[in-house]
Every structure is written in C-alpha cells, then in structure tokens.
Amino acid sequence: MLKVSKSPWLLHYDGSSCNGCDIEVLACLTPLYDVERFGIINTGNPKHADIFLITGGINKQNESVVKQIYSQMPNPKVVVAVGICACNGGVFKDCYNIMGGVDKVIPVDIYVPGCAARPESIMDGVVKAIALLDEKRKSVGKEAAE
Amino acid sequence: MSTRSVVPFGPQHPVLPEPIHLDLVLEDEKVVEAVPSIGFIHRGLESLVGKKDFNDYTYIAERICGICSFMHGMSYCEAVEHIMNIEIPERAKYLRTIWCELSRLHSHLLWLGLLADGFGFESLFMQSWRLRENILDMVEASTGGRLISSVNKIGGQLKDVPNDMIRGFVAKLKDMEKDIREMTDTFLNDYTVNSRLRGVGILTKQQALDLGAVGPFMRASGIALDTRKRGYAAYSNIELEPITSDIGDCYARTYVRIQEIFQSIDIIRQAAEKIPDGEVAVPVKGFPSGEYFMRVEQPRGEAIYYVKANGTKFLDRFRVRTPTFANLPGMLETLKGCQLADVPMMILTIDPCISCTER
C-alpha cells in the first residue's frame, strides 16, 4: 500500500490571483511555518503532486491551463482553493473575465478563506486535505479491487 | 550545424509563483528569441471603477498586487487627494513613508529568496524568507494584515501607530541589519553565486534608456533616477540618493537591490526621528472632478497612476502603468543570446510582478 499521507506533495498554481495568497503559500514552506516538517514538499510537476493548491478567481485564459494541470495529476488528488477569490471570486467577483471561484472550473474539496489567506489557515487546509487524501486513497483501492 | 527548436516556458513553471508564458526559440542551448504571451492574471480591475465608488475603490487598488499592496493603495489615494485638493496631516505622510519602506524591505528580501531559489541555493532562499518574516511581523503589528494592509483611505490613514512602536521598529531593524548583511554578503561574495550572476544578461545604459527600463533594473545600468526624489508622501523631508551600478548585469541588479534594503532601513530611521504628533486623517467631502498622474517608486520601479474623475461618485478612468510592464522590453533584450540555463536568472532579475502588469 502506498503511504501517500506520510509525505504529500503540493502543486501550487496562481489562477489569476493578486499574488498575496501565492506569497503566503510560499511562506508556508519557509523556516517560520515550515510545512516540510509534515513531509510536505512543493513540486513543480503536476504528475508528482497529490494536493493542488490553487489561488485566485480563474480568468478565461487560465481556465484551460487549470483544467489541464488538474487532469495531469494522478488519482487520488485533493484540490484546495486558497483565499476568498478562489472560493467565490472575492473582490474581483464583478470583473468581466473572472469565472468567480475555482469550483466553476474544477471540483474543489477544501476551501480556505482569507484575503490574503494566512499561512496558519493554509496549513490547516492542507492538513484537512491530507485526511481527505487518505479517504480517497481507500476508495481508489476499493475500485481497483472490484 | 545548429538546429532551431522552440521550448515553451510556462504558464505553470517552477521559477515564479505567477504564470507567464514564454516561447523560447533556441539554437542548441542558446536562446535566440523569446516571445512572451501574457494575460493569465488579467482580471480587469481598471473597469471596476464603474462599479465601486471612489472611496471603496481604494481596497480594489490595494489588491492589484499582494506584494506592493500598500503602495498601490497609497498612490491611488494620493492621486485622488491631489484632484480634490486635500492636504493630509503630516503624521499620515510619515506613516505612509514608513509603510512604503517596510513594503520595499519585504519585497526585496522576498526577491533575494526567489533569486537564490532560481539558481538552486535553497538554504539561502530559506534564510532571506526567515528574515522577511520579521518585517511582516512589523507590518502586521502596525496595520493588522501581513500582506494586504488596508490602512489607506482618501484623506489620510485609517490607523495610527504609537510612537513607541515606531521606535521599536527602528531598534529591531538595527538588530536585523547585521543578520541581513551576513546573508547578503553571500550573494555578493560567494564564488558560486558570482559565477551565476556576473556578466550574465547585460543591459547597457543606452539600451536601458532606449527600452524605457525603470527601477533597480535601470539603476543597475548606471542611470541615477529615483521617483522618491520627487517627494510624494514625506520623501521631500528624507535624505536619499539613488543607488546605482554601472555594470548592468545580473550581479549589478542584485547589488542595487541589496543596497536598497539598507537604504530603506535608513529611511525608516530618518522618518521615525522626524514624525510629528497629531491627527492621521482629515474628513473628505464631495466628489472628485479632474484628472491627475501620480508617479511613485515601487520596489520594482516607477509606477504611474492615472485617475480621471467626473464629479460623481464613480471615476471615469483609472489606469496603472506598472514597473514590470516597462521592464519587459529590456528583459526580452537581455534574453537574446543567453544560455537556456540562465533564463530564470534574466526573468528574476527584473523582479517581475505579473499581477501588477496584467491587473
């Protein structure tokens, strides 16, 4: 059995956000917050990733990119929408080319609110994602057995 | 014989946290042309002036970019204040100066980290981000937010900062200076780091002028221009000299930004000595009518804000020319003829902020 939950790898993508949440995602990886102590590693390769951290309200041009990254990630995978823009569009909801939330494009499992989302809440979201990843892994195993 | 090939770079890539796409045309390992395509973060913020009234728009302006958030909000407010002929209290001007310099400090430390990560020196990346957290603690203590501070309003500041706290910042920065110097000495003196930065991506003074480069990217090519010398906020009472270098390579750009870190610490010290007591905001009545160009020096260079108001609560037009946009032609010029492995260095040393550029 794969022990994914022991060391989940993150993929971070900026889906039309203001950069604030992205910087906070990176801040999680650095010495003060240091998510690496949970075995979490930031990767640039979708095919290595278990958890997809996505920020921003997704604009039209980013839509296909996000879908593509999501489809490249192997199952089981968890999507965490970081920041209020990723949850429902936030202050950019009225903008003409903002889709208004990540869940309009790909299925989202965990919502992390905040503008910008604080590193503590991002870590909370990722820890919840790890638990969900475990559940999903079991169901993937069952499907394979059947 | 060399063969031409095109390597797509981005939009999802490990160099920056933000998406940008470049088609790199290669001859063997050498880049002959770079064709950018942008628009992955375009949100259409400027059009929101028709939907949000001019006071609320301050919060939208702050969210143009999460790194220079304070400066975007401040510049928008100053532009509207100029149109409405509002003279803000002296204390508010000094607070703006202090927060601007704290933003510059955290932005430059962030950039140094990304640069270290770009050439694969991970412990140096961790070090500079560790130091950056101290700056963010100061921002959080004084404004309440780590990145998006939301302390600007038209007519002054929403929050006052106790004098004790400002003096505390100066003392803390003085302590940090030694740590920062230790860390930046690695950038400037380490043999391996030098081999990645020296002589790479040279932009001559003439090219910088012709291509309209701004900020540290321009100053590293020997042009001594700094918009802070124009004296917005309280900068007219602050002594500062633009930091320049005449080499124009990646090393020079790193050098200029590192010296600007110490310059910012000095500016905060000067501002803390001169800050007067008093109110931090004046009441604002009526609606703006007229237009104004506001120029500020952001960590990445000069940003220009154009505000046109028509006497109602909605503005006619708001336009931002951001420093990264002005630096893109220069960056594309330096990319020509470089090695593929140096591409991340070229892109990083203009300190690109795609969120600002595309809004």
Domain at A49, CATH number: 3.40.50.12280
A79 pLDDT tier (thresholds 50, 70, 90): very high
> Contact B146/A16, CB-based, under 8 Å?
no
Task: List CB contacts (< 8 A) between B69 and chain A.
Answer: 18, 20
Q: Closest approach of chain A CAs to the CA of B40, in angstroms?
A: 5
pLDDT in tens, B197-219: 888 888 888 888 888 888 888 88
- Structure-derived torsion over alpha carbons of residues A90, A13, B42, B307, reported in degrees to the nearest 10: 60
**The pLDDT value given to residue A141:** 67
Total number of domains in chain A: 1
Asked if A19 reaches chain B (Cβ–Cβ under 8 Å), the answer is yes
Minimal Cα distance from B124: which residue of A?
A30
CA diameter of chain B: 73
> Contact A95/B11, CB-based, under 8 Å?
no
Can you list the domains of chain B with their CATH numbers? 44-358 (1.10.645.10)
SS (H, E, C) A12-62: EEECCCCCHHHHHHHHHHCCCCCHHHHCCEEECCHHHCCEEEEECCCEHHH
Asked if B314 reaches chain A (Cβ–Cβ under 8 Å), the answer is no
Minimal Cα distance from A56: which residue of B?
B41
| Residue ranges making up the domain that contains A79 | 4-145
Amino acid letter, B223: I
B252: pLDDT strictly greater than 70: yes
pLDDT in tens, B272-308: 888 888 888 888 888 888 888 888 888 888 889 998 8
Of A14, A32, A46, the CB nearest to B17: A14
pLDDT in tens, B339-349: 777 877 888 88
For the residues B247-257, what does the mean pLDDT come to?
88
Residue pair B198/B251 in contact (Cβ under 8 Å)? The answer is yes
Of A12, A23, A95, the CB nearest to B43: A95
Average pLDDT, chain A: 83
Task: List CB contacts (< 8 A) between A27 and chain B.
Answer: 129, 133, 136
Angle, helix B90-118 to helix B69-83, in steps of 10 degrees: 150
Does the ipTM surpass 0.90? Answer: no
